[in-house]
Structure formats: structure tokens, C-alpha cells
Amino acid sequence: MPTFFNEMHADGGLEVREHYREFCRWLAQQPPETIERKRAEADLMFRRVGITFAVYGDDAGTERLIPFDIVPRIIPAAEWSQLQTGLVQRVKALNMFIHDIYHGQNIIKAGIIPAEQIYRNAQYRPEMQGISVASDIYAHIAGVDIVRAGKGEFYVLEDNLRVPSGVSYMLEDRKMMMRLFPELFARNKVAPVEHYPDLLLDNLRSVAPMGVDDPTVVVMTPGMYNSAYFEHAFLAQQMGVELVEGKDLFVADNSVYMRTTHGPKRVDVIYRRLDDDFLDPLAFRPDSSLGVPGLLSVYRAGRVTLANAIGTGVADDKSIYPYVPDMIRFYLSEEPVLNNVPTYQCRKKEDLQYTLAHLSDLVVKEVHGAGGYGMLVGPASTREQIEDFRRRLIAKPDGYIAQPTLALSNCPTFVESGVAPRHIDLRPFVLSGKTISMVPGGLTRVALQEGSLVVNSSQGGGTKDTWILEKDQPC
């Protein structure tokens, strides 16, 4: 049986970890009916606010409430310091890699990454070759998925650099906990996260085109039917900027303008929440009605900033993930602070052979997959599912990677049967502009089904508030 690291308990559940003791003392004093009433109150408030997520292929409906659990995930200051150092290092190297790929390609010339891994990557954009972007920053907003394995060590599971989502749930989870249980925050020194929208706006303003002193920033959404529309509207409202769709913008005089009731207004920075393919029908998908015709030409001329930059996805493809530790060594001359999960690249003959022989033990992922779709969790799959994936692997080996099934850490969670351990991960958000900044926290996602390792909201996962303790306590 695998050994799971328990975030709250040590010594096989006999001892509460020091940084959880104050919370556990408080929880033991709460009558069960009080906790149940607070949980129902949280569900009602989330529903009123409209915090939902679209679940594609769900016969029960296209949207559902994202379950929120009132047991927080608590991280002591020393652990957070290590995570933050590693995340800043990693995102810095990823930005240098993307710039290099679209300019000198030194990492290819050095033989560290094969050229075909770039040119065959669906997210590589040759239109960006040689184009300079503000401050040489491509991934202005990064969401990096972190897991803790059996012995308590942290691993980076995935880099989300195109349009990472989930930060609104981090902010709303904290707001909910402070509203329901204000006494908890009086008893625990929890680092604040509510200044994230201010940090984000400062970050976006800092990368405005050269010569723009008072930039106009907008959030660009595909529209209300997008699964993360709540977050788009939430962030625009919190930053005090306009939420726009492609139809609200137009190109004239080599600039981007927004239609307003007072006439056209120039736009300098677009925080876009749609994929490259839909941004400009003249440059990418001609059938896209979500984008702005001519946007790429303005962007290439340096007259508007897009966050994240076009072509950033070349670095968050799962086929590139295994090379990130070498990127850190190549660009920064440092050893990685955070480890990758060991990864088998199925395009390699020996890795493919190993994967095919151990499918029942591995997690197999499509290199372009996201949201928990297009993957096989071997230990949780039927023989039929495994054989189906075997056929896919043999037909297109370069479309997959494989990893060991990690014993993800668990945290006590309220479920229908009471309180039970459920597996979790963590998505902190890293902002890159003139400087690199983070709020102390992130989105903790929890797999609500017993034994499940899939935490994605699109696959039925829930969320928890993430507490970073400002004053460290021994673990």
C-alpha cells in the first residue's frame, strides 16, 4: 500500500502537526450542527455569487457549484519560503526559455532540447519569431501545480502558462472563511491574499508599451459561456478595469481601440483569457468570431501588450515539461529548488516500451491535454481502459508522456460520511513584469471522490482555503 503524507497529522494519525494544532483545538470545540450550518451557508453564498464551473459532457447540466471545504490547507512559513524560491526560479527560467525560442534558440544549439520538440509543438508560433515583447516577459501570469508525495517532498506537476485559471476561487475561498469563521483569523497569523488584484494590475501596467505613462488595461473574455467566465468578470471588477469581448475592440491606425459610449478609447494592455488560435482571425483561425482582426499586426509592432504573450504555450506543453530542470541550469546556472516528477517521454523507444509494460502502474497524459482530460490513471482504470490507451500510445507515441502514480498528500475534508482524508494539490500564482511577485497562498484543489487523484474542478474536484502562516511553527 502506498504511504500518503497527511498534511494535518503525523505518526500515522496519532499526532497533530504543530501548525494545525490551533485549528484542531478550535474545531474540537464546535458543535457538529454549527459546522453543518456553516457549510450550508457557504454553499448558498457561493451559489448566490455565481461561483460555478462548466462541466462539459455532464448530463446533469453544463454548470455546477464548485464544492468548497471548510478545513483549510495550512503551510508553515519555512515550507512556503522554499516553495516561493523554487517557483520564482522556475518561472524566471521559463520566461527566458520562451524568449530564447523566439530569438537566438541557444538552448537548441546547445543540444539540450531537440529542435523537433519545438517545431512540432502545436503551441509554437512562428509568427512570433524575432518579435520583441515588453520587458522580454511572455508568461506574465503563471499557475504552477505543486504536489506533495509520500515522504513530504514537493514536486512540480505542471506549468500552466497560457491562460491559467483558478485565482478567483483562491480569493473567494479566503473571503468565505473570514466571513464564516472570523475568530480563526484572530487566533492564527494567516498571511493575506486579498491584495492579489492590486498586484496583478500593477504587473499589467508595468509591461505597457514603451512611452505609455497611464496605460488602459482591459480583461478580454471569450464570453459568458466560457467555463471560467466568472473569474474573468471577477478580476475585471476587482482591478477596476473593463471586461471586453473581441467585438468590443477594433484596430485602427496601428493601435487597438475599445468602443465606449464616449467614443473610441485606445487600449494598451490586454489581459486575454482566450487561446492564441482565437485572438485574430486574420492570423490564426479564420472562423474565430471571438478575436480582433488585425490584433497580431499591432502586437508585433509593439503598440499593445498581450498578457500572456502569443506563443507562451510552447513552454507549458507536457512534452517540454521534462526539460525544465535543464532550462534552469542552462539559463540561471542554478540547481532546481523544486523537482519535476520523473517523466517517460513516449516518443523515445525505450520510454515507450517501459510505459507499455507498466500501464497499470502509471499516469499517462496527452502532451496537449488539460483539465484532467485525455489521461489514464493506471491503478484506477479498468482493463478495457488500459487496453484502449495502449492502442492510442502505439498509434501516436509522441502525443503522450507517462509518470509514476504519485502518492499525493491528503488533508482531512468534510464529505457526506463525515470527515475523511482526500488527496490535494496546490496551484500558486506567479506574476512577472518589471519584477516577479506572488501572494502567499494559492488554490488548493481536492479530489472529493475517495481514492481519486484527479483534483480538477472539471472532473468533480473541490477547493480549500490555503493558509500560509506568517509566524513559523515547528512541524
pLDDT tens string, the chain, 475 residues long: the values are 567 899 999 877 789 999 999 999 999 999 989 999 999 999 888 888 777 665 544 444 456 678 899 999 999 999 999 999 999 999 999 999 999 999 999 999 999 999 999 999 999 999 999 999 999 999 999 999 999 987 789 999 999 999 999 999 999 999 999 999 999 998 899 999 999 999 999 999 999 999 999 999 999 999 998 888 999 999 999 999 999 999 999 999 999 999 999 999 999 999 999 999 999 999 999 999 999 999 999 999 999 999 999 999 999 989 999 999 999 999 999 999 999 999 999 999 999 999 999 999 999 999 887 666 678 988 889 999 999 999 999 999 999 999 998 888 999 998 887 889 999 999 999 999 999 999 999 999 999 888 887 787 766 789 999 999 987 554 4
d(CA 193, CA 174): 8
Residue 282, in any domain of the structure: no
Q: Which of 165, 249, 260, 268 is nearest to 209 (CA)?
A: 268
Same domain, 394 and 366: yes
Same domain, 430 and 375: no
Query: Is the Cβ–Cβ distance between 375 and 364 less than 8 Å?
Result: yes
Helix (H) or strand (E) holding 76: none
The parent domain of residue 137 ranges over: 18-209+304-340+406-468
d(CA 444, CA 145): 10
pLDDT at 375: 87
Domain count, the chain: 2
pLDDT at 5: 92
pLDDT at 123: 93
Residue 138, in any domain of the structure: yes
Does residue 54 sit in helix, strand or coil? strand
Q: How far is CA 296 from the centre of its chain?
A: 25
Residues 6+ apart with CB under 8 A from 176: 42, 45, 46, 68, 465
Residue 391, in any domain of the structure: yes
Q: Which amino acid is at 317?
A: D
Helix (H) or strand (E) holding 462: strand 462-468
Same domain, 352 and 313: no
Same domain, 200 and 349: no
441 dihedral zone (left: phi>0; alpha: psi -120 to 50; beta): left
Q: Which grid coordinates are listed for 3?
A: 504511504
Residue 238, in any domain of the structure: no
**Quick one: 92 exposed, middle or buried, by C-beta within 10 A (0-12, 13-18, 19+)?**
buried
Same domain, 100 and 155: yes
Q: How far is residue 166 from each of residues 20, 90, 430, measured CA to CA in Å?
A: 25, 20, 13
Does residue 44 sit in helix, strand or coil? helix
Q: Which of 391, 413, 330, 336 is nearest to 159 (CA)?
A: 336
Q: Which residues of 26-50 are buried (b: 16+ CB within 10 A; e: fewer)?
A: ebeeeeeeebeebbeebeebbeeee
Same domain, 199 and 348: no
**C-alpha angle with apex 368: 365 to 373, nearest 5 degrees?**
55
Helical H segments across 29-76, by residue range:
32-49
DSSP for 348-411, please give it: SHHHHHHHHHTGGGEEEEETT--TT-SEEEGGGS-HHHHHHHHHHHHH-GGGEEEEE-----EE
Same domain, 357 and 417: no
pLDDT at 432: 98
Q: Which grid coordinates are listed for 403?
A: 509518470
Query: Is the Cβ–Cβ distance between 429 and 91 less than 8 Å?
Result: no
Q: Which grid coordinates are listed for 319?
A: 512534452
Residue 297, in any domain of the structure: no
Residues 6+ apart with CB under 8 A from 236: 218, 219, 242, 243
Indicate the residue among 379, 404, 429 that finishes a domain: 404
Q: Where are the beta strands (DSSP E) in 35-140?
A: 52-54, 63-65, 68-75
Q: How far is CA 274 from the centre of its chain?
A: 15
Residue 248, in any domain of the structure: no
Same domain, 82 and 192: yes
pLDDT at 460: 72
Same domain, 325 and 368: no
Q: What is the pTM of this model?
A: 0.93
Residue for grid cell 498528500:
409
Here the CATH number for the domain that contains residue 381 is 3.30.1490.270
Indicate the residue among 364, 386, 404 that finishes a domain: 404
Indicate the residue among 359, 381, 404 that finishes a domain: 404
Same domain, 321 and 350: no
Q: Which amino acid is at 338?
A: L
pLDDT at 472: 55
Same domain, 152 and 177: yes
Same domain, 400 and 442: no
209: which DSSP letter?
P
DSSP for 235-281, please give it: HHHHHT-EEE-GGGEEEETTEEEE--TTS-EEE-EEEE-S-GGGT-T
